[in-house]
Amino acid sequence: MTKLVKKIPLYLLAILILVITGLPFFIMFLTSFKGQMEFMTSPWSWPENFSLDSYKLLIELEFFGYFWNSMIVSVISVVIVIFIAAMASYPLARLTFRLNRPIFIIFMVGMMIPIHTTLVPIFTLTNDLGLYDSLLGLVGPYIAFALPISVVIFTQFMRDIPKELEESAKIDGCSHIRLFWNIIFPLLTPAVATVSIYNFIQIWNEFIFALTLTSSSQTATLPIGLREFYGEFSVNIPGIMAALTLGSLPLLLVYFVAQEKIVAGLAAGSVKG
């Protein structure tokens, strides 16, 4: 009995934090099923008859185009980052050469560089390359800013792989390309998971480059689309809540399916970073 009493403050604190973190999501979700009039009269009550009007409106407005854009940009960027970051990490982790440390530090320093410091040159560069307002124009900066953490994670991970593995392969006259591709890369699966999860979340939610380097709704990614929708329908609050719900849904769904994996991946990435 005394044990239970002792636990009451713990429960109260746990529930308080649960309400603070969870309530905004809950309200967002519920409000998205309300009619506009209903929201005006009683903004925070339980919805009377779960209306799907807001979601219908989103489909009519081709809201899913934004998903598609975000998906393309995120997947392309993450796949390229995995390959070129793993490649760059191979000599940094496994070979000794004079510029090894400086190059590693140059990549690592990238984690503290404010994106805004590169914004104007990247804007003019993207214009000059004819990539302004195209999804391809976003891929370059996304890759560049994902590289520092990815190179650090891969390098740390590869340093822990026993040297004997490739010693024997080297004796067999294996080239570096085959060594990397056939022996090292297959062992990287946990690091690949970490790098993909971390970067996917970052790129999927990225805002400032998308805001600066694209302008039309054909190239808008999800965060840009959400903001556009908010600007246009700011009085239709259930509609906005439906857009926010849909916009958050993909990551939340993936999270609930692969929770442990995502949490472990994020932690590993940041701790090493």
Partner 1 sequence: MERTDDLKIVKVKNVPKRKNKDTWAIIGFIAPAFLIYGVYVIYSIFMTFYYSLFDWTGIDSNMVFIGLENYIALFRDGVFWTSIQNNFLLVIASLFTQLPIGLIMALLLFSPIKGMRLFRSVYFMPFLMSTVAIGILFIFIYEGNYGLLNSVLGVIGLESLQTAWIGKESTAIWAVIATVCWQFAPFYMILFRATIVGIPEELYEAADIDGATGWQRFKNITLPLLMPIIVTSAILSVIGSLKYFDLIYVMTGGGPNNSTELMATYMYKQTFTNFNMGYGSSISFAMFIIAFIVTLFILFGDKQRKGNDS
Q: Using CB under 8 A, which residues numbered 177 to 216 contact partner 1?
A: 177, 180, 201, 204-205, 207-208, 212
Please select the residue that binds partner 1; options are 48, 106, 159, 182, rule is CB under 8 A: 106
Shortest approach of partner 1 to residue 159 CB, angstroms? 15
Encoded one letter per residue, x for contact with partner 1 by CB under 8 A and - for no contact, window 15-54 reads: --xx-xxxxxx-xx--------------xx----------
Residue 18 or 52: which CB sits closer to partner 1? 18
Residue 236 within binding range of partner 1, rule CB under 8 A: no
* Minimum distance from residue 12 beta carbon to partner 1 (Å): 10
CA 256 to chain centre: 16
170-200: b or e for each residue (b if 16 or more CB lie within 10 Å)?
Answer: eeeeeeeeebbeeebbeebeebbbbbbbbbb
Least CB distance from residue 162 to partner 1, whole Å?
20
Helix axes 64-94, 135-159, angle to 10 degrees: 40
239 binds partner 1 (CB under 8 A): no
State in angstroms the smallest separation of the CB of 90 from partner 1.
5
Question: In whole angstroms, how close is the CB of 164 to partner 1 at the nearest point?
Answer: 19
∠ at Cα 271 (190, 99), nearest 5°? 85
Taking residue 147's Cβ as centre, other Cβ atoms within 10 Å add up to 19
**How far are the Cα atoms of 83, 161, 167, 183 from residue 197, in angstroms, in the given order?**
15, 22, 32, 23
Name every residue whose Cβ is closer than 8 Å to that of residue 156 and which is 6 or more positions away in sequence. 93, 272
Comparison of 51 and 272: residue with beta carbon closer to partner 1: 272
Q: How many residues does the chain have?
A: 273
* From 47, 190, 227, 261, residue interacting with partner 1 (rule: CB under 8 A): 227
- Of 7-15, 51-59, 61-69, 163-171: span binding partner 1 (CB under 8 A): 7-15
> Does 87 participate in binding partner 1 (rule CB under 8 A)?
yes
55 near partner 1, judged by CB under 8 A: no
Binding range to partner 1, per CB under 8 A, among 56-64, 79-87, 161-169, 187-195: 79-87
**For residues 51 and 202, which CB has a smaller minimum distance to partner 1 in the complex?**
202
Task: Scan residues 244-263 and list those touching partner 1 (CB under 8 A).
Answer: 244, 247-248, 251-252, 255-256, 259, 263
Comparing CB distances to partner 1, the nearer of 27 and 52 is 27
Binding of partner 1 by 171 (CB under 8 A): no
| Rounded Cα–Cα distance for residues 104 and 101 (Å) | 5
